[in-house]
Amino acid sequence: MNLNGIAAVAKSIRSLSIDAIQKANSGHPGLPLGCAELAAVLYGEIMKHNPADSKWADRDRFVLSAGHGSMLLYSVLHLSGYKVSLDDIKNFRQVGSKCPGHPEFGWTDGVENTSGPLGQGIALGVGMAMAESILAAKYNTKAHKIVDHYTYVLTGEGCLEEGVSSEACSFAGHNKLGKLIVFYDENRISIDGSTDITFTEDIAKRYEAYGWQVLKGSMYDVKGILKLVEKAKKESSKPSLIMLKSVIGKYAPKQGTPKVHGEALGEEDVAATKINLGLKSDEFFQVDDEAYAYFADRRIELEKRYSDWQAEFAAWKNENPELAAQWKASYEGSEDGTSADPSYETGKMVATRTASGDMISAMGERYSYLVGGSADLKGSNKSGMKCDGGTYTPENRSGRSIEYGIREFGMASEALGMSTHGGIRPFVATYLVFSDYMRPSIRLAALMKQPVIYDLTHDSIHVGEDGPTHQPIEQLASLRAIPGLQVLRPGDAEETVEAWHMAMNSKDHPVLFSLTRQNVPVYAKEDSDWKNTIKKGAYIVRKGADNPDVTVVATGSEVCMALEAAEKVQGKSVRVVSVMDKNLFEAQNEDFRKSILGTSSRVIVAEAGVRNGWEFYVKSKEDLFTIDRFGESGPAKKVAEALGFTADKLAELIQK
């Protein structure tokens, strides 16, 4: 090990970080100054990676959970040879820069995840480690091990205080994810002062209780860090937390205080810090030549390891053509199996959650890399796969059904980590109302353009007796407000089948289903080409007339309500439109929208949720047949009657 080279890298990380932050007059110098040695030894000695191919499938993953310390990552990526230039670093936190304020997945070469909201990075890391274990079980053979890598996470007090990290780390311990290694930057400082004011539990005991191996050392003992990682790797049945005592803002005049956490040091303190580092105080963006030389030598070794893997992969591919075809399909997002779609007779009563369950099994046969589970609601969500190979456990890494437990936020973040890892298409399931617990991760999936599928059931007041705490009212509107999230609310079993096809064909965005608990009828569809039309978000279920008097725009279970109401209306032609994807429909051109809505003078909207977002469809707010209050506890039909949300009441509104 070249200790001088690692020291030069650490010094250069600190130099680049403080100058970039000072030039931007914005950023967080505390973590890069405090953790530079760890980044240097990780990228220099520990990790299996190849800067020439940042998407290498068998690379080790590094997750900077404490994303505010982004200059640590940008600096080491630049030094080690990724496509992060010195000019990129000089433009830190500027519009269009490859070095944004927090790391952004898909934007900067070598960045594995978007991180900023604390706690989610470590949860993504759990998902990545789980993905590695699933793929290893699926693809490795006695002759060839083509999946064999680790997930490393750098976290701080903020991440460990956030509840999502507790959910995810409990899950990781239970599932014995031994290839997950988390470094804890133990500086004991937060924005408002010492962590003693809020965070005093015994972290080591907490993680031991989760089922983790806990190791301790110093952030500045490079040889010690290497030994701790070796020890962590020897414990294959437990994830490891390596607690490294550190000094926030090390070498800065105000080191060890909150002052160095989240703002530029200032010109005088930057100069003083450089003197403490042995750098020239009046030169900017200094890089020790030995740092570049160290990584130039290191890349030769890394490229040899990479080429050896490529040869191993080629031999494996030649010997295992069926597995190779599945591997290719999983990374392309294409089908690698066959199955028939379920079919439903018109008039049959089927809950859309049940139809979704049918499709999960069908899609599981068609896509061998579809993996998913529920937050302790598999039976209620109908989200179990019949072709799943069992439940994912430490003893059965091949299982494709995952028992997440009652950890909705952790579940969503872990699924996002699996998707980001690659080779797996994850879905997760719970009740729609509990999307509130998942929303931060759903938003992150949309930011990262990851095709996670959210299978959310019990989507309206028809939940019934569980009452207003379990009856979603505002959730659909709030989820549709997330840019890049596709929200699909199918009206019957047949539409649910098409919703699953739309989801599986998506490659660059997450998809969320809103599904009924109650049975709804499979209805006849007057648009003979509806399966294609619905791909634009909406289609005509009941034409009524070329120029109907009234068009009822409905979603989900309200489509059958609208059809029933239309039959009760006298003397008016009524069109019924199913809008499965409101945002997609609104994105179509005006001619298409007019062809669906008609040229009638009146449009009524029917949806079992708040009116928000539907206002511009109608000329009068009275034509918003929505629910703008919380529900009631009681049998579903009685609740609907109490709220005046019935086909009879809708017919009265149409008749006006």
Please give the positions annotated as active site.
408
Instruction: Give phi and psi for 158, each to the nearest 5.
Output: -60, -45
117/302 Cα distance (integer angstroms):
32
The one-letter amino acid code at 353 reads R
Q: Which residues contact 137 (CB under 8 A, 6 or more apart)?
A: 397, 398
Selection from 546, 498, 478, 84 nearest residue 488 by Cα = 498
Question: Residue 473 and residue 469: Cα distance in Å, rounded?
Answer: 10
Which residue's structure tokens are 């994105």? Answer: 587
Q: In what helix (H) or strand (E) does residue 603 lie, and over which residues does it extend?
A: strand 602-606
Q: What CA–CA distance (Å, rounded) separates 454 from 513?
A: 6
Residue 447 belongs to what H/E stretch? helix 435-448
Residue by residue, DSSP assigns 159-225 as HHHSHHHHHHHHHHHHTT-TTEEEEEEE--EETTEEGGGT--S-HHHHHHHHT-EEEEEETT-HHHH
Separation CA 306–CA 357 (nearest Å): 41
Other Cβ atoms within 10 Å of 96 Cβ, number? 7
Counting Cα atoms < 13 Å in the Cβ hemisphere of 206 gives 14
Which amino acid type is present at position 272?
A: A
Largest CA distance in the chain: 89
Distances (CA, A) of 23 to 19, 85, 264: 6, 16, 9
Q: Is the dihedral of CA 637, 638, 642, 643 positive or negative?
A: negative
How many C-beta neighbours within 10 Å does residue 35 have? 30
**Residue 129 and residue 414 in contact, taking contact as beta carbons nearer than 8 Å:** no
User: CA-to-CA distance for 585 and 489, rounded, in angstroms?
Assistant: 13
**3-state DSSP assignment of residue 33:** helix
Torsions phi, psi for 532 (to 5 deg): -85, -40
Residue position matching structure tokens 């650490």: 10
Judge whether 321 and 464 are in contact, CB under 8 Å: no
Backbone dihedral angles phi then psi of residue 238, each to the nearest 5 degrees: -140, 140
> Alpha carbon of 618 to those of 553, 569, 651: distances in Å?
10, 19, 17
- 486-521 b/e (C-beta count within 10 Å ≥ 16 → b): bbbbbbbbbbbbbbbbbbbebeebbbbbbbbbbbbb
The single-letter DSSP state of residue 341 is P
